[in-house]
Every structure is written in structure tokens, then in C-alpha cells.
Structure 1
Amino acid sequence: MVVLASLLPARGAAAPAFGLATKIAIALVFFLHGAKLSRDAVIKGVTHWRLHLLVLAATFALFPVLCLGLAALPGAITPVALAPGLIFLGCLPSTIQSSIGFTAIARGNVAATVASATASNLLGIALTPVLAAILMHTQGGFSLHSAQSIVLQLLLPFIAGQLLRPWVGPWIAARAKMVGYVDRGSILLVVYSAFSEAVVEGIWTKVSALDLVRLLVLCGVLLAAVLLATLFAARAFRFNKEDEITIVFCGSKKSLASGVPMAGVLFPGAQLGLILLPIMVFHQIQLMACAVIANAYAKRADTEPQTS
């Protein structure tokens, strides 16, 4: 999808069409998971406070500290022009759709992922601008549009699926492979749409090839550090395998969907492209890496008994 978007990005009239298709696919994912999950599983997921605290700590404490450290490195390591974008990256909430998709593929605790990722995004509407203002000395407010998008596009379809579960649940449960295809398809569509927009805006022309290579390495190191930290923390606190999967995927991601509108409010247009570049690069890396990790978890689940 990254290569396809680089060669044939969605532009002109096609861009809104892909954007609408992406929103529909994401809403469908939430509806299907709402219809598939039992009411007891949802309640258990929402009330799993130890898991949620650990994910929020990784998202809004560990990430900002690590990103501040990377931004403070010498210019020969961290490009000066991209340092503010790295800090802003650390302030963002977790993803929702890809976290749920990867958790479902890896056979983790999907109910807890829905609750944790949604809480991260709702809190991020307030926390991200505050963190950015403190760490980057930016000024500006934020809009409630992101909150409305979360409610309309994510929570309402999930609730609708829960309400319709007695009628459509058995039909969906009998077609688990179809749900898996929808999860994977939504992730591919998000990657293509996001990368297409960046290519059309000409974001890759604003930095040198060496800057891009250094940014790729920095984002890769950042992701690896957080993946390992969340994995070890989940095992240190003795979470089961399903919860470990949720913590790893929710705690290691940053949301491009939330980051772009927030950055548009907090930063002037001339600075916006460079601010968004680290988010774009990290977003692609996290999707690729987590796809591999999710499939590894799924393969191990095929050969090992599930724990509860």
C-alpha cells in the first residue's frame, strides 16, 4: 500500500472517495466487533482499569519522555527541523482502528482494546494540546470535532452492533474469516489513504534523503523501545496473553487520524508539513511492524492453548 500510494496516490476526485471508503470501513469494523462481542466481555473490558492505566502511562508518559530525549540529540543524529515533530508525536493518543484490527488478528482482548484505545483518544483531545503546549511552548486551543468523530464513527457503530447482536451475532460468528478480511482491509485502506495525502502534499520534497533515513531510524528505535517496554511491563504485572496483546498494540501506537487535525490547530501552515512528517513515518512503521507481530501472535495461538 505504501508503494502503491507513492506511485499512484489518490488525488483529485478520487481522494474524497477513498476518504469516505476509509470511514465506512472503520465504522463497519466497529459494528462487526460490537455485534461479535458478548455483553459480559464488553463490561469486563471497560472495567479492566489496571490494563487501561498501563496503556495510558505508555501513551502519555513514556512516549513524551522518549521523544524529548530523541529531540535533544545532536543535529547530526536528529535533524533540527524535525525535532519539534518528534516531540509532538510523543504527545498524541493511541490509534483505535489499527489497534483493534491487530488485536483481533493476534487473538487478544478486543473488548479491552476498544475501551482502552477509545479512552486514549478521548483523553488525548485535552491532553495532547496541553502536553504540546508544555513541551513545545505552542499556543492554541483545540476543537471538539475530533471528539464528535470518535463518537459518530467509532462508538455509535460499536453500540449499534451490541444492540443488534441478538439478531446478527450468530451470523457474524459463523463468518469469522470474513471479519478478519474486514480488519485487514480497513488497515490497508487507512495506510493507502494517509500515505496518498502525504504524497500529494509533497511532504517528501521538504527534507533531504539523509534526513529521511535518519528519521526512519529514529522512529524505528522509538517503536522498538516502546514495544519492548510494554511487553515487559505486561509480563511484569502478570497480565494474561490476551491482555498482553492489548497492552502491546494500544500502548505502542500513535494516531495519525488524531494528530493531523490537532496539528492543524496548534501549528502555523508553514510549519505543519515538518511537524507531520515524523507522525507519517512512525505511522507507516508501526503498521508494518505490528502486522508482523500480530501474525506471530496468531501463529503461536494456533499451536498453544489459550490462557484466561
Structure 2
Amino acid sequence: MTTVLASLARPVSAVLAKLRIDPFIALILVTVGIASLLPASGAVATGFGVVTKIAVGLLFFLYGARLSSQEAVEGMRHWRLHVTVLCATFVLFPLLGLAASVLSPGLLTSPLYTGVLFLCLLPSTVQSSIAFTSIAKGNVAAAICSASLSNLLGIVLTPLLVALVLSTDGPGVSGSAVLDIVLQLLVPFVAGQLARRWIGGWVQRHSAPLKIVDRGSILLVVYTAFSEGMTEGIWHQLDLGPLLALVAVCCVLLAAVLGATSGGARLLGFARADRITIMFCGSKKSLASGLPMATVLFGHAEVGLIVLPLMLFHQIQLIVCAALARRYARQAAAEEPGELAAVG
């Protein structure tokens, strides 16, 4: 799938490169276009779901094989970073969501505002937060711990927050989500740690496979998520005006959190790699967690429009953070020669 997308995106990427637009963003846009024209459905969608899970599992296996045990332990001990990310995810975001109530019913209909508030109560993403942190040369070990912790705590915190600020008729969140996180993220990571003594050196010397899995997993998430929206007809449930207003609200929300996490991390005295981790882990919202939670917490008749803000926000955050990650990567590459000269 990734190879096909890459070949289809080459002509577009060449044009966008002249316009100084990142090729990876071109790949994401091409993926969205393919999902719009040829969305996966039925058995094909199920197959893509399985492939996505395998890609994410492989991603964490490679991270485990690449990271030394000392780096992993240091990532777990970085409590100030984890608290900062959790505050952004479960305090800053909900406050911004509550503040957005002034936009309803004037700019946002009641279901759309409910969806905006719901997305603000969700945990952070895992795979894309870590992938973008890796691309941007951030603290990957801390990102793994922080994003996974956010996702695990979200299984409990999100339903509690929803119960506090929204009316729901669902029975609660199934514990199977916890098992999915353990099987898909923690088990491959531990397996990679155990296999590090045999393959760790190879993974360190050959970064290309890790980059392919980084970017490939993000493209698979984009395709499967957008395909699901297309097949369920979510995009046809409202007119163009409200849709554009919702896109604007999502953009402003993401910009506010990116600015707050970046500026706040700098004020708190975090190092550059940690600031990158805080920004990427603290500004994301998980579509993978949000969709199943919404189906449990809300009535089926209203789920479509409630999850629409989350689906839009998810696509916007991937595109924006892809550009930011590559920008930070270029900055890190430009700084390395100077650092080496200083050491010499």
C-alpha cells in the first residue's frame, strides 16, 4: 500500500517541491484523495485494519529493538514531561472545549459542538505522536511512555470527563481496549527489547526500515480513517458552510494547543528534544480510541456527526504535524555539524 501511494505521489510531490511543500504532506494528501475516490469497505476495510495493526506492532517492535534499556527507563522516569503532556491532554484541551461553547448554536450546531467537546476529552494518539517525535529528533523513549500512559489513562478518564460535561446513554467503556493497547503496543515493544541483543545493532545502522514503518503507519491510519468516514456517509450529513466552520474551529483549536505546549515547555525549561515530545504528544487526539468510545458513549443515531469533528481534527493534525516534524528534523540536521565542530 505504501509503495503504491509513493509511486502515485511522485508527480505531485515534484510539483509541490517546487512550491516548497513537504513531499510527506503530498503523500498524506494523495492518500486522502485515494480514500475519497476508492474507500476501503467490507472485507477490504477489515484487511486494511489488520495491516494497520501489524504496521503499528512492527513500529513498536523496532522502537524496542532500537532503544537501549537505559533509554527506556529514563523515559519512564521523566515524570515532569509526562505530567505536562497529561495536563495538556486532560486539562488544557477540555478547558478549550468548554470555552468553545460560545460558538454554539451560532457557528456550530449542537451535535457538532458536542463532537468538538468530545474530541477535547480524548487521550493522545500513540503511533503518530511517537512517529512524528522520531522524525523530528525528539525524545522517543519519553514519547513512547507518555503517549502510551495517556492512552491507558484515557480509557478511564475520558468516560469520566464525558459523564461530567455531557449526557450519554451508553453503558461504559469496555476493558477490551486495555487489552488492545497491551497486545498492540506493549507486547511488541517488550519483544523488541528482548531481541535487541541480536538485532539492535542492525536497526541502529539501518534507519531506513524504521522510517518506512514510521511514515507507512501514518499513511495507513489516514487511509483507513478517511475510508471509514466515506463509507459511512459522514461527510454528506451537513452542508458546506457548517463543514467549513468546523474545519476552521479545528484549525484554531490545534494551533492554540500547539502554541501552548511549545511555549509552555520552553517556559518550564525543558530541553529541545523534550519540548518536541511535549508538543507532539500533548497536541494529538486519538481517532483509534475515540471512534469506539463514541459508539459506546452515545446513541447510534447521533454518533455520525459527533465523531465528525474528531475525524477532521485527526486529518488536520497529521498534515500540520508532518510539516512541523520535518521542519524540526531539518533544524536538527543543520545544528549537528556545528555541534560536532564544537566537540572537536
Q: TM-score, normalised by structure 1?
A: 0.98
Query: Which range is displaced more, 130-139 or 223-232?
Result: 130-139
**1:176-215 to 2 correspondences below 5 Å:** 176-215=207-246
Q: Which residue of 1 aligns with 2:87?
A: 57
Q: Does 1:33 align with 2:63?
A: yes
SS at match of 1:68: helix
Match of 1:159 among 162, 178, 190: 190
Q: Which residue of 1 aligns with 2:205?
A: 174
**1:1-308 to 2 correspondences below 5 Å:** 1-139=31-169, 140-305=171-336
How many angstroms apart in 1 are the aligned matches of 2:180 and 2:102?
34
Q: In the alignment, residue 152 of structure 2 is paired with which amino acid?
A: L
2:111–2:302 Cα contact (<8 Å) kept? no
1:36–1:173 Cα contact (<8 Å) kept? yes
Identity of counterpart residues, as a percentage? Answer: 55
Q: In the alignment, residue 178 of structure 2 is paired with which amino acid?
A: A
Q: In the alignment, residue 71 of structure 1 is paired with which amino acid?
A: S
1:148-176 deviation per Cα after TM superposition (whole angstroms, max 9, x unaligned): 10000011000000011000101111111
SS at match of 1:304: helix
How many angstroms apart in 1 are the aligned matches of 2:302 and 2:43?
27
Q: In the alignment, residue 334 of structure 2 is paired with which amino acid?
A: T
How many angstroms apart in 2 are the aligned matches of 1:214 and 1:301?
36
1:99–1:117 Cα contact (<8 Å) kept? yes
Superposition CA RMSD, Å = 1.2
Tell me how many residue pairs correspond in the alignment.
307
How many angstroms apart in 2 are the aligned matches of 1:77 and 1:268?
24
- Structure 1 residue 69 displacement after superposition: 1.3
1:23-64 deviation per Cα after TM superposition (whole angstroms, max 9, x unaligned): 000000000000000111100001100000000000000001
Q: Which residue of 1 aligns with 2:16?
A: none
How many angstroms apart in 1 are the aligned matches of 2:174 and 2:102?
30
Larger Rg: 2
Q: In the alignment, residue 157 of structure 2 is paired with which amino acid?
A: L
Distance 1:84 1:74, change over 3 A: closer
Q: Which residue of 1 aligns with 2:11?
A: none
How many angstroms apart in 1 are the aligned matches of 2:101 and 2:47?
37
Query: Which range is displaced more, 11-20 or 288-297?
Result: 11-20
How many angstroms apart in 2 are the aligned matches of 1:91 and 1:169?
38
SS at match of 2:147: helix
Task: Specify every segment of 5 or more residues in structure 1 that has no aligned partner in the other structure, as ranges.
Answer: none
- Structure 1 residue 76 displacement after superposition: 3.0
1:71–1:84 Cα contact (<8 Å) kept? no
- Structure 1 residue 230 displacement after superposition: 0.1
1:152-205 deviation per Cα after TM superposition (whole angstroms, max 9, x unaligned): 001100000001100010111111122111100110011001110110000011
Q: Which residue of 1 aligns with 2:4?
A: none
- Structure 1 residue 67 displacement after superposition: 1.0
